[in-house]
Structure 1
Amino acid sequence: MHSHDHGPANATRAFAWVTLINLAYTVLEAGYGFATHSLALLSDALHNFGDVLGLGLAWGAAVLARRAPTERHTYGWRRATLLSPLANALILVGFSGALGWEAIRRFGAPPQIPGVPVMVVAGLGIAVNLGAAWLLRDGHDHDLNRRGAFLHLVADAAVSLAAVLAGAGILAFGWNWLDPLTALLVGIVIAVGAFALLRDAFDASMDAVPRNLDRDLVQGFLLEQAGVVSVHHMHIWSLGAGEIAMTAHMVRNDDGDHDAFIDRLAHALDERFGINHPTLQIERGGACEHDRHDRAPHAH
């Protein structure tokens, strides 16, 4: 029988470490902001707290994804990893909007900001966020939940870098307008990334074909198999956590061993396309009655 990996157990451990590390840094940054009366540090701490909430959502989704299937939830709770990045993206969009609004408001009267404290604490933020992103580096390219958290951390590192540069400019030249300018630019960068994540998360929640797959290429591959004359009722969607499901009906005029054929094809779909939850139905003879209601390219 075809087997597949249902996600590494250390995923939840990585999310736990990342969430707790960022929460500790947020508390430190907020405390230092209050101590120095730095609005820049306090606003960044608020932004980081929102990110901690987003990372907490990703952590919770990773925990839920490990729950065993039940009679009611036959796929388990893996789709929680699709809902988490949707909420994560909305949080990012909201914070980038708030960051941009505050930056525009400050252009009129840039406040006096202590350059050295901002540079020191923001520099620590770069190390914390890049270190946390490194913990989530594996699998973020095909796991939307990890990708959402990874983007959060990289965006935070960019915010911290911008704060370091702004602090340096303020310290060296007294350019207080650098603070709102860098905040505005970083807000735009975050918003662009957030909208891309929001689009992908929405597509996944609507059972769209994953963007890294070409549906016609998969269908053409099925039609190349021995004895297959038609493919219909083919659907491809993400189950979350790097798992991709597919259903397909194949008309196959072949008296060979269909079980062995399906088993070989399931392995091939996994190796070639990463489709690790295929459900394949073999039909004999001409096209079925329902074929004309779900006709796809190349269908007979």
Structure 2
Amino acid sequence: MHGHHGDHGHRHHHAPAPGSATRTFAIITLVNLAYTVLEAAYGFMVNSLALLSDALHNLGDVLGLAMAWGAAVIAQWPATERHTYGWRRATLLSPLANAVLLVGLSGALAWEALRRMGAPPEVPGMTIIVVASIGIAVNLGTALMVRGGHGHDLNRRGAYLHLMADAAISLATVVAGAGMLAWGWAWLDPATALLVGVVVAVGAIGLLRDSFNAAMDAVPPGIDTAEVRDFIAGQPGVASVHHLHIWSLGAGGVAMTAHLVRPQGDDDDDFMHAIGEALQARFGINHATLQVERGGGACHCHAHG
């Protein structure tokens, strides 16, 4: 006996429909991309690694914002006979390329920063202060755009925290520019670049780990498989749970399949509806597929669990 919870209606939590959320992500992505191009251009013009490294960090967040924007759009694409889950899983693959790119670029910048530490070139401190100050304004302004509801919307929360971190790094670049302007400390430029490069690399390695795990169908962060199993096993009439699998579908979708041994019960439809609602409310699992077995014999299913 099989049951699938959440095929239609309010029981499914998809990405938001095109509207204010999509427009917000579009605006902050384009604004931050424009600033990243501006900062990189000035970094090359004045030969400042501090500006270039900050631009690299902003580029990484622009890619992340673009993926959040894309998730809000792609999640609306309908499923097909070939892509029965739809297209949301593409958002699990793009972070892999993003992370690999950022690790490589941050490593190259860190190497150049170490090379310059011995004989740092003169860099105009005022240019760095002005450009980085624009970055503070851009990051704080766009962070305020996604602040509303960020406490319960993980998509918005991630964007908000990244933008606030960008503002802090831009502030550090302003301080470095002030030190160069006031005391002529040219070494502050490569030192700041090295610091930002480390921050970018650490974040990119974490992104690489998380995106790789998601692409390999790992259980999403924040969900404890043992806790889910115990919760299901504790439902009325359930004798045991096996073949439990939980994985991310991308764009807010979390899928789960499980076999339940339930020897007695003539209320399977109501039971599966209730347990599906509970799994969504408690664990965020919004694609639960349950197979109920009466336990009359051994399971001969060819599956792992």
Q: TM-score range with shorter-chain normalisation?
A: 0.7 to 0.9
Alignment match, 2:229: 219
Change (3 A) 1:191 1:230: same
Q: Deviations over 1:51-79 (max 9, x none)?
A: 54554455344422221111111111111
Structure 2 counterpart of 1:6, which letter?
Answer: H
Is the Cα contact below 8 Å between 2:39 and 2:52 reproduced in 1?
no
Task: From 49, 52, 58, give the equivalent of 1:43.
Answer: 52
Is the Cα contact below 8 Å between 2:54 and 2:196 reproduced in 1?
no
Tell me whether 42-51 or 188-197 shows the greater mean CA deviation.
42-51
Change (3 A) 1:193 1:140: farther
Structure-to-structure mapping, 1:57-136, within 5 angstroms: 57-136=67-146
Q: Deviations over 1:85-104 (max 9, x none)?
A: 22222232122212211211
Is the Cα contact below 8 Å between 1:155 and 1:190 reproduced in 2?
no
Distance in structure 1 (CA, Å) of the matches to 2:65 and 2:179: 32
Distance in structure 1 (CA, Å) of the matches to 2:54 and 2:221: 34
Distance in structure 2 (CA, Å) of the matches to 1:142 and 1:207: 23
Distance in structure 1 (CA, Å) of the matches to 2:230 and 2:75: 32
1:6 and 2:29 aligned: no
Q: Deviations over 1:204-234 (max 9, x none)?
A: 1111011201101100111101111111111
For structure 2, the residue ranges without an aligned partner over 5 or more in a row are: none
Distance in structure 1 (CA, Å) of the matches to 2:303 and 2:62: 47
Structure 2 counterpart of 1:109, which letter?
Answer: A
Is the Cα contact below 8 Å between 2:110 and 2:198 reproduced in 1?
yes
Distance in structure 2 (CA, Å) of the matches to 1:193 and 1:238: 21
Structure-to-structure mapping, 1:134-153, within 5 angstroms: 134-136=144-146, 147=158, 153=163
For structure 1, the residue ranges without an aligned partner over 5 or more in a row are: 296-300
Distance in structure 1 (CA, Å) of the matches to 2:234 and 2:221: 23
Structure-to-structure mapping, 1:179-190, within 5 angstroms: 179-190=189-200
Structure 2 counterpart of 1:240, which letter?
Answer: G
Distance in structure 2 (CA, Å) of the matches to 1:130 and 1:57: 20
Distance in structure 2 (CA, Å) of the matches to 1:108 and 1:287: 75
Is the Cα contact below 8 Å between 2:54 and 2:193 reproduced in 1?
no
Q: Secondary structure at the residue paired with 2:249?
A: strand
Distance in structure 2 (CA, Å) of the matches to 1:162 and 1:282: 58
Is the Cα contact below 8 Å between 1:70 and 1:76 reproduced in 2?
yes
TM-score by length of 1: 0.85
Distance in structure 2 (CA, Å) of the matches to 1:49 and 1:129: 13
Alignment match, 1:298: none
Distance in structure 1 (CA, Å) of the matches to 2:226 and 2:60: 40
TM-score by length of 2: 0.84
Distance in structure 2 (CA, Å) of the matches to 1:16 and 1:221: 39
RMSD between superposed Cα atoms in Å = 2.9
Is the Cα contact below 8 Å between 1:249 and 1:280 reproduced in 2?
yes
Distance in structure 1 (CA, Å) of the matches to 2:34 and 2:67: 17
Change (3 A) 1:45 1:196: closer
Change (3 A) 1:201 1:154: farther
Is the Cα contact below 8 Å between 1:40 and 1:118 reproduced in 2?
no
